[in-house]
Structures are given as C-alpha cells and as structure tokens.
Amino acid sequence: MSIDIQMPALSPTMEEGTLTKWLVKEGDAVKSGDMLAEIETDKATMEVEAIDEGVVGKILVAEGSQNVAVGTVILQLLEDGEGVEALSTPLTPAETEAPQLDEKGPRLRTPGALPAGRGDERSVVDTAPIVLTEMDVPPGTELVETSVRDALRDAMAEEMRRDDRVFIMGEEVAEYQGAYKVTRELLQEFGAKRVIDTPITEHGFAGIGVGAAMGGLRPIVEFMTWNFAMQAIDHIINSAAKTLYMSGGQMRCPIVFRGPNGAASRVGAQHSHDYSSWYANVPGLKVVAPYDAADAKGLLKSAIRDPNPIVFLEHEMMYGEIMDVPDMDDYLVPIGKALVRRVGSDVTITAHSRMVGRALEAADILAGEGISAEVIDLRTIRPLDSDTIIKSVKKTNRIVCAEEGWGQSGIGAEIATRVVEQAFDYLDAPPTRVFQKDVPLPYAGNLEALSLPNAQDVVVAAKGVCYVD
C-alpha cells in the first residue's frame, strides 16, 4: 500500500503554505533524506525531506500551488515492488489532521478598518454598525490588502528612506530576512550599515541601541520576541525610559523596541508572555500594541518619528493576517488615541492587539443575542486614552476589559480602576475583566486553549454585566 506524504507544518504557527517546487518527479526512486519539494511558509522557504524509501507514485499537488493546508496529501510513494495500482485514495486534510481544538476554528478575518460603504463581503453581520475608521485619508484613497507583517516592514522601509539616522538592529534581521520575515528585503535595500545582525545578546544590544540613540541616531531594536527582552529590560526601563527625566530634559533617547508579544501557538510558557502591563507601568515609555495592518503601519511610522523611547508590542499570530492598508505616501496613526472599532449601546468592550479580534467576534455573537456591544481598540497602552473609554462607558454604563495577559495588575485592572474613579455614577454593573488564567501558559493544546481568553469568554463577561443569562 502506498505511503501518503502530507503537507508538513514547518513552524508552530503554520496552517498553510505554497508548494513552490518539486525536486522529484513521478517514477523517481527516493530514499530517506532525499529532498522532495520546496515549501514556502509565512516565514521561510524550506525543503521537505523524505523519511521513507520508495518510488514517487503520484504527485497530487502541482508546483506553484498556494494555500495548501497543512495535512493535505501532496505525494504518494510506492513501496518497493508496488505498481501504480497500489495507489490508494488520499485522505483529505480533515481526515488526516489531528482533532482540532475548539480554540482553533476558522481564522478570524478582521471586520475593522474598512472604509464605510466599501461593502466588503468579509464584513460582520449586517446589523452591526461599525466605525470603520479614523483613518485620516483623502477621499478615494485606494486600500491595498497587506499582511500585518508587510505593513510593519513597509513602515520601517519608508521611515528609513525618509531619515538616514533610522536603522534596525536585532537577531536575524538582516541576512536571514527576519526570524518572522518582518525585516524582509531591508538588507537588500539599505545595506549592512543600517540593517545590523546582532549576536544573541539582548542585554548588550539593547544597551548599544540606547547609546546609539543618545549619540544622535534613531534605532529600531527588534527582539525576536518580547520574552527575550527580559534580558534587556534594565536598559529599556533604567537607561531609556528614565534618562530624559534624570537629565532634567537634556538627554534624549529616541528609540523603538519592537517584536512579537504574547502567546503564539503551543510554544510553552517561556515564549508566550504578554508584557503589556509590565511596560505600561513605566513613565517615560510609550507603549503601543496595534491590532490591524493599517494601525501596524501607521503606528510604527509614528513610533519611529517619536522623540521618546517606544515599546512596540506586535503579535505573532497577527503577522500573517491580510487586511487593508491605505495606499498613501505617508500614512501615520497618532500614538495615544484609541479607536472605536464597533459602535454599540449596551456594553463597552476594551481590548488591544489580537484580543481586539476576539472582542469583535464576541460583539457579533452578542448582536445575535440582542446585545449591542461597543468595541474599543486601545491601540496605545501608555498613554492610555481614558477619554474614549470613559465617554463610551457613560453611554453604555457597562464595561468588559479584555486582554490576553494575566489579570493581576493588568491592563484591565487599570481600566476598571479609571472607570470606577471617573464614571462611577454611570455604572450599572461592576467593571469586569477577561484575561489569561493565572498560570504559566501550558504546552498541551487543550490546556493552552483553556488558559487563553477567547471570544466566548468575552461573551460570557458581557452578558454578565448586562445581567443576561
């Protein structure tokens, strides 16, 4: 009986990929270790190796096929002595895949950031009025579908073209093209002077970045993940954030620290930490956490131009999301302004980064149950746009603060406090929080899903503050 070779998962977050090239043809004999095909993931192009010996019986997915789901049978291998009659009917990905977790489901497409009247079929339910944009774009501006990854890349490339002092340094940012491909092709355009591969020494290169900023440059320091920035947190806080104050306003430190933050997928406790509230605690920093591609671009451009140290928290699970970005020479989103992504009247839901998608998903579900939720994308954690939140709560009289990080001393705790302080008399229910369970993030798929907050958690919390079962 033939052996089915499936589209492999080549990274923790890969769900599909492009089969760029077959390195074997039907009838070829292969042995273990032979290269079968080249596959392009969202992060890299990799070769697939044969594990079994045999003869290539049938190639089922043509060269150049895109979006081939992980688990799809791409090739059938005949064992020694078998003829083509031995080829079985390949299983579908659904049949071959391990049981899916509830959490996974279909990937969320963002309903946000579309201009009014575009009538995109991906939009959310018809009844949902959405404030589509505070995008300050001229009428008729074209919107280009862009991944969050490329939006970040474009922001850096544009700012590097605009200002010679801007450069990027970090692990694998140059020749490797970025551990998550966020710095793809920057080396080719700007050269090794401005796209600098560092050794794996976060503490040291964060300090060097701070010194370069004090010396008159505008560094972007990429951390492969914010988890690794724990090695460097002293320079972010003690050296970058406090210097302006300690110098009586003399010594500037214009620097952007950026990279993916929070839980990716099944990477365990040490690679899944959400640092939003850690950095939000520090005066002297601005902390930005975009959700969609347009904000990723517009906020990163603003961050690079900002004269202050910026902590820019991205989300690995959002890198591959394709969303609209206005096609403009200079699309800037101001730091410090939240965005009402969906207008509602019964309950306010705040969220940032990937959690915004879950909040919007929850708002859809709630709409189906007759509850009108207003969703606020915080976009900037520090300075926090209290005005937008308080204004919304004065209208809805209820709030659910959702975040992916832990609850204690978290972003939700801060927002709830401000709401109690500033809009107590408007509240019809105590503020409620949705957050990650109070444990280090587990590896097991089921436990990880139980630990991370999802749309249903937001729905339950929203119904709770609306006193609806």
Partner 1 sequence: MATKPKTSKKELLHLYREMLLIRRFEEKAGQLYGMGLIAGFCHLYIGQEAVVTGVNAAIKEGDQMITSYRDHGHMLTLGMSASGVMAELTGRSGGYSRGKGGSMHMFSVEKNFYGGHGIVGAQVPIGAGLGLANKYLDNGKISTVFFGDGAANQGQVYEALNMAQLWKLPTLFIIENNQYAMGTSISRSTAQKDLYKRGLSFGVKGVQVDGMDVLAVRDATKKAAAHARSGKGPMILEMMTYRYRGHSMSDPAKYRTREEVSEMREEHDPIDMAKNRLLKENWADLDALKAIDKDIKAIVADAVEFAKSSPEPDPSELYTDVLLEVEA
Q: Taking CB under 8 A as the rule, does residue 286 contact partner 1?
A: yes
Give least dist CB 296 to partner 1, A.
19
User: Which of 22, 180, 190, 205 is the binder for partner 1 (CB under 8 A)?
Assistant: 205
In the bound state with partner 1, the residue whose beta carbon lies nearer, of 218 and 297, is 218
Give least dist CB 380 to partner 1, A.
12
Read off the amino acid at residue 38. E
User: Which of 70, 214, 322, 449 is the binder for partner 1 (CB under 8 A)?
Assistant: 214
Distance CA 80, CA 328 (A): 59
> Which range touches partner 1 (CB under 8 A), out of 76-84, 246-254, 348-356, 361-369?
246-254
DSSP symbol at 116: T
Q: Taking CB under 8 A as the rule, does residue 175 contact partner 1?
A: no
What residues numbered 297-336 form the site for partner 1, per CB under 8 A?
A: 302, 305-308, 335
Give least dist CB 165 to partner 1, A.
8
- Contact present, 209 and 221 (Cβ < 8 Å): yes
Give least dist CB 283 to partner 1, A.
5
Q: Which candidate in 158, 171, 202, 361 is catalytic?
A: 202
Q: Is 271 a catalytic residue?
A: yes
Pairs from 248-253 (Cβ < 8 Å, separation ≥ 24): 251/214, 252/213, 252/214, 252/307, 253/210, 253/213, 253/214, 253/308, 253/309
- Contact present, 266 and 309 (Cβ < 8 Å): no
Q: Taking CB under 8 A as the rule, does residue 245 contact partner 1?
A: yes
Q: Taking CB under 8 A as the rule, does residue 379 contact partner 1?
A: no
User: Which of 283, 425, 438, 467 is the binder for partner 1 (CB under 8 A)?
Assistant: 283
Q: Taking CB under 8 A as the rule, does residue 337 contact partner 1?
A: no
CB atoms near residue 355 (< 10 Å): 33
CB atoms near residue 449 (< 10 Å): 15
Residues binding partner 1: what is the number (CB under 8 A)?
Answer: 44
Distance CA 213, CA 405 (A): 30
What residues numbered 113-132 form the site for partner 1, per CB under 8 A?
A: none
Q: Is 171 a catalytic residue?
A: no
Q: Which candidate in 16, 222, 235, 271 is catalytic?
A: 271
In the bound state with partner 1, the residue whose beta carbon lies nearer, of 44 and 214, is 214
Q: Taking CB under 8 A as the rule, does residue 244 contact partner 1?
A: yes
Distance CA 24, CA 34 (A): 9
Q: Taking CB under 8 A as the rule, does residue 248 contact partner 1?
A: yes
- Contact present, 419 and 431 (Cβ < 8 Å): yes
Report the length, in residues, of the chain. Answer: 469
In the bound state with partner 1, the residue whose beta carbon lies nearer, of 68 and 304, is 304
Instruction: Tell me which residue of 226, 225, 263 sits closest to 448, measured CA to CA.
Output: 263
**E strand or H helix at 219:** strand 218-222
Cα 25 to chain centroid, rounded: 38
Helix axes 455-465, 355-368, angle to 10 degrees: 60
Give least dist CB 218 to partner 1, A.
10
User: Which of 117, 250, 424, 425 is the binder for partner 1 (CB under 8 A)?
Assistant: 250
CB atoms near residue 246 (< 10 Å): 12
Q: Taking CB under 8 A as the rule, does residue 206 contact partner 1?
A: yes
Query: Which residues make Cβ contacts (< 8 Å) with residue 1, sequence separation at least 6?
Result: 79, 82, 86, 88
Q: Taking CB under 8 A as the rule, does residue 181 contact partner 1?
A: no
Q: Taking CB under 8 A as the rule, does residue 209 contact partner 1?
A: yes
User: Which of 71, 178, 207, 320 is the binder for partner 1 (CB under 8 A)?
Assistant: 207
CB atoms near residue 189 (< 10 Å): 11
User: Which of 21, 58, 162, 203 is the binder for partner 1 (CB under 8 A)?
Assistant: 203
Q: Taking CB under 8 A as the rule, does residue 238 contact partner 1?
A: yes
Phi, psi of 339 (to 5 degrees): -130, 125
Give least dist CB 176 to partner 1, A.
17
> Which range touches partner 1 (CB under 8 A), out of 60-68, 208-216, 345-353, 390-398?
208-216
Cα 159 to chain centroid, rounded: 21
DSSP symbol at 238: I
Rg (CA), the chain: 24
- Indicate which residues carry an active-site annotation: 202, 271
Interface residues with partner 1 (CB under 8 A)? 167, 193, 196, 198-199, 201, 203-217, 234-235, 238-239, 243-252, 283-284, 286, 302, 305-308, 335
